[in-house]
């Protein structure tokens, strides 16, 4: 037994890793192990012999088990120390300047829009791309059969199980409805998101993005709408004296309604933004129609407010000089490397929207 003990202890001491150690445990203490085998032989001995040898064997077993445990703890600690050393990361190292990934101009533009409106106290809301007829049209004061519905080139989907007409939202305005149905005034939200219309050429893609704005309280008026949009456009395009022109227009869900142009020049085929006497249309807006407020459970004798909506691709193209809308969605890496943005340059009004 002493010889066996010495042999096993020296094996344990020289086990190189946890796997080798476990093998030693099995050959000593496993079901067919050497100490287990000696235990099984006890049955053949006399009562007295059995007692003495049994005690000695138990002591041997305990000693080997303890040696195994101790060695296991040492090996585990050594393994962890080695792993920590090998996988060490210096978190104080500067970020690699040669980052390859780029932020898509649409994402960048949305981040910029959110940064500006967040500063004015707006929060971001969203809604589903797949809408029903009620949220996209009816609640927005498009009566059934109204010709304005046809202007939207809607993608219709099969009816829902409960008979609702389903479609891909043609604008972000249905989220106005969802927001008012969910939340009591005062409301001040912007809603960036995807929109869909069946149209495809240099300036139209079947999927594009809009950002919607909605403010509802007891006092907000057309003057606030103008001030808000003037501030936004000047901050977004980074032109301090950018002129804005509000032209009367029509949307079923706003009254009065306006389309907004920004000042530009097209001299020599080059588009420049600023006070140059020429105009470019960029968004639609107006005071939320009382019928819309009522359809959303908002008391129109007490509450009022404004809404606006603009195309994100359009203002991104203007700001960043991107000539063809369709290239936004071609997923061409060369294009993305050229027009994309470095991930860590997060837009904020404090350090600048774009660098």
Chain residues in the site for ligand PHE (CB under 6 A): 171, 173, 212, 251, 254, 284-286, 307-309
Shortest spacing between CB 257 and ligand PHE, in angstroms: 6
Bridge partners (DSSP) of residue 258 are 248, 285
CB 228 within 8 A of CB 240: no
Residue among 139 and 307 whose Cβ is closer to ligand PHE: 307
Residue 91 CB, shortest distance to ligand PHE, in Å, is 46
Helices 2-14 and 47-86 cross at an angle (nearest 10°) of: 10
Are the C-beta atoms of residues 97 and 136 closer than 8 Å to each other? no
Residue whose C-alpha is closest to residue 192's, from 171, 177, 178: 171
Alpha helices in 165-208 (DSSP H): 174-182
Residue 21 or residue 316: which is nearer to ligand PHE going by CB? 316
Closest contact distance (angstroms) between CB of 146 and ligand PHE is: 14
The end-to-end CA distance of the chain, in Å, is 79
For residue 180, the SS3 value is: helix
264 token code pair: 């530009």
Residues 6+ positions from 262 with CB-CB distance below 8 Å: 233, 237, 242, 243, 244, 245, 273, 279, 280, 282
Minimum distance from residue 289 beta carbon to ligand PHE (Å): 10
For residue 324, give Cα distances in angstroms to 49, 200, 304, 314, 320: 97, 12, 39, 10, 12
Tell me how far, at minimum, the Cβ of 102 lies from ligand PHE, in Å: 29
CB of 11 or CB of 254, closer to ligand PHE: 254
β-strand partners of 196: 207
Q: With respect to ligand PHE, which residue has the nearer C-beta, 102 or 171?
A: 171
Instruction: Give 67 or 233: the residue with its C-beta nearer to ligand PHE.
Output: 233
Give the residue with the Cβ less far from ligand PHE, 205 or 254. Answer: 254
Cα(5)–Cα(204) distance, integer angstroms: 85
Phi-psi sector, 321: left (phi>0), alpha (psi -120 to 50), beta: left
> Please, what is the minimum distance in Å from the beta carbon of residue 144 to ligand PHE?
18
Q: How far is the CB of 215 from ligand PHE (least distance, A)?
A: 11
Q: How many residues does the chain have?
A: 355
The residue among 109 and 173 lying less far from ligand PHE, judged by its C-beta, is 173
With CB atoms as reference, the residue minimizing the distance to ligand PHE is 309
**What is the spatial distance between Cα 111 and Cα 192, in angstroms, rounded to a whole number?**
10
Q: How far is the CB of 282 from ligand PHE (least distance, A)?
A: 11
Closer residue to ligand PHE (CB): 207 or 342: 207
The CB-of-160 to ligand PHE minimum distance in angstroms stands at 23
CA pair distance 342, 320, nearest whole angstrom? 15
* Whole-number Å distance between alpha carbons of 177 and 231: 26
104's CB contacts (< 8 A; 6+ apart) are 328, 336, 340
Q: CB 167 → ligand PHE: shortest distance, Å?
A: 14
33 vs 284, beta carbon nearer ligand PHE: 284
Q: Is 201 helix (H, G, I), strand (E, B) or coil?
A: strand
Residue whose CB is less far from ligand PHE, 263 or 286: 286
């Amino acid at each position: 037994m002493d010889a066996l003990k010495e042999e096993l202890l020296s094996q344990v001491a020289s086990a190189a890793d946890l796997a080798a150690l476990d093998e030693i445990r099995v050959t000593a203490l496993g079901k067919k192990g050497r100490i287990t085998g000696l235990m099984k032989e006890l049955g053949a001995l006399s009562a007295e012999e059995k007692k003495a040898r049994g005690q000695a064997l138990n002591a041997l077993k305990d000693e080997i088990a303890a040696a195994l445990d101790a060695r296991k703890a040492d090996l585990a600690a050594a393994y962890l120390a080695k792993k920590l050393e090998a996988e060490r990361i210096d978190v104080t190292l500067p970020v690699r300047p040669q980052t390859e990934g780029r932020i898509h101009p649409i994402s960048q533009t949305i981040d910029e829009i959110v940064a500006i409106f967040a500063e004015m106290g707006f929060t971001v809301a969203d809604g589903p791309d797949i809408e029903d007829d009620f949220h996209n049209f009816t609640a927005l004061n498009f009566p059934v059969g109204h010709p304005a519905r046809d202007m939207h080139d809607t993608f219709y989907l099969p009816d829902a199980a409960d008979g609702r007409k389903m479609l891909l939202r043609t604008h972000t305005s249905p989220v106005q409805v969802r927001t008012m149905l969910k939340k009591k005034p005062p409301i001040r939200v912007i809603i960036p998101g995807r929109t869909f219309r069946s149209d495809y050429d240099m300036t139209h893609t079947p999927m594009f993005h809009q950002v919607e704005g909605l403010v509802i309280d007891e006092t907000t008026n057309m003057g606030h709408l103008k001030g808000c949009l003037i501030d936004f456009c000047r901050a977004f395009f980074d032109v301090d004296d950018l002129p804005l022109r509000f032209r009367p227009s029509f949307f079923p869900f706003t009254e009065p309604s306006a389309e907004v142009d920004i000042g530009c020049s097209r001299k020599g085929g080059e588009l420049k933004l600023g006070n140059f006497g020429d105009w470019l249309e960029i968004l639609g807006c107006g005071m939320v129609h009382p019928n819309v407020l009522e359809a959303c459970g908002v008391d129109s004798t007490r509450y009022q407010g404004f809404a606006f909506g603009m195309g994100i691709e359009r203002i991104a193209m203007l700001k960043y000089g991107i000539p063809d809308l369709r290239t936004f969605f071609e997923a061409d890496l060369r294009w993305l490397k050229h027009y994309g943005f470095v991930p860590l340059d997060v837009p904020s009004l404090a350090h600048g929207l774009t660098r």
